[in-house]
Amino acid sequence: MEAPQYVAARVQQALAEDERTTELGIRVDVRGEQLFLRGQVTSEERRDLIAGVAEEAAPGLAVRNELTVADIREPGGEEKL
């Protein structure tokens, strides 16, 4: 069986190089048969794409998608000082 740090590195490389994701800011941890994805993304669609790429890069592991969607709306109105 492949060492967890190698699996995590392979998934991170896949996330960075796959044209669907090109994602660098995701933390990948492997514990036993589970792969955890942590970090912030800009949309639910992106969150799902990243999980899909991770599943392809680490077949046989259960992907635990703990990515959060960041609220990047423009601030509305003027700020009061």
Band (73; pLDDT cuts 50, 70, 90): low
Helices (H), the chain: 4-17, 44-57
Is CATH 2.40.160.10 the classification given to domain 4-69? no
Distances (CA, A) of 50 to 23, 46, 74, 77, 78: 8, 6, 25, 34, 35
Residue with tokens 């933390």: 27
Q: What is the pTM assigned to this prediction?
A: 0.83
- Asked which of 1-5, 7-11, 12-16, 40-44 is least confident by mean pLDDT, the reply is 1-5
